[in-house]
Amino acid sequence: MIVMVGLPARGKTYISKKLTRYLNWIGVPTKVFNVGQYRREAVKTYKNFEFFKPDNEEAMRIRKACASAALKDVSAYFTKEHGQVAVFDATNTTRERRAIIISFAKERGYKVFFVESICEDPEIIAENIKQVKFGSPDYVDRDIDEAMEDFIQRIECYRANYMSIDDEKDRKLSYIKIFDVGSRYLVNRVQDHIQSRIVYYLMNIHVTPRSIYLSRHGESELNLSGRIGGDAGLSSRGQKYANALATFMRGQTIKDLKVWTSHMKRTIQTAEALGVQYEQWKALNEIDAGVCEEMTYEEIQENFPEEFALRDQDKYRYRYPKGEAVKWSHFSSILKQSTHTEKDQW
């Protein structure tokens, strides 16, 4: 179990979703259990921050019941759906609540890894509230200033009883603390390979979303003849595409646009039309087709019929003779690096 910890507007749900997507992508079945969704099912209409006051006994009873229901679903996910990782997305700001989760996991033989997001920078918190909470069902049709004020009050309700994971008292727990959206990290007792992957990934993301634009290069001279690979420059139509892409990107009015290309001429020429600095990454190169470089698919079928058939059966895992496979490309490292940068990029 991955258990989120932290006050509201600290990016916990964003981290949960990103981490879940990443783990599923690398082949680890993972699911998020957001306790806030259980609360919205139990209480159809949200009124104001008073629901989250520690002395609101009726609301506290409902919130505990929602957390219990989410934990029950976590158990069902592991036993019936054969999941491997469950992300328990809630504030979990008290030692009592975390002790309940630890006891629940221990009884069932689950490992627990805590992810605490700590942030006291007012500007970052305000931006998180605007980016995340104004899209929340709790504030549909609410005035922006009213929603902001209510949510700030909600944070204060949690702050009253908030107890961070203690470096001394909780030294036997496995956890990562993320300070001020990645300015500093504290990692304790990483137990296995999956937890190591989680830590590495979390140290390469930010809690505020950014735009990432992905584009093919313009048509190359080798594309005209249907040949794969090679390092040809753009055709005349490819240059038109590069110019059209540049026009589109200028229309996005992105400040400090960061551009990454491969080492291939066709991608560099496409990027040059943008008129901004770009960075070349070898890991973005098209996969090496080995002995099939600069051949057409017809030529591959004629000269290497068995290889052609194998590729047709599984394009993801197939590896060209003396070449590469999509599965073993370095693109995943680029994706992780792109989530770490603070700028919008193409």
Contact 288, 274 (CB under 8 A): no
**How far apart are the C-alpha atoms of 184 and 118, rounded to whole Å?**
10
Dist CA 107 CA 151 (whole Å)? 36
258-288 burial, b at 16+ Cβ within 10 Å, e below that, comes to bbbbbebbbbbbbbbbbebebeebeebbbbe
SS3 for 11-31 is CHHHHHHHHHHHHHHCCCCEE
Is 181 buried (19+), middle (13-18) or exposed (0-12) by CB count in 10 A? buried
Residues acting as catalytic residues: 89, 119, 217, 286
Pairing of strands 184-188, 174-179: antiparallel
CB burial of 82-119 (b: ≥16 within 10 Å; e: otherwise) equals: eeebbbbbbbbbebebbebbbebbeeeebebbbbbbbb
Task: Please choose, from the candidates 289, 301, 288, 254, the residue with its C-alpha nearest in 3D space to the C-alpha of residue 274.
Answer: 254
Task: Give the Cα separation of 102 and 124 in Å (integer).
Answer: 31
CA separation for the pair 300, 292 (Å, rounded): 7
Structure letter (DSSP) for residue 234: B
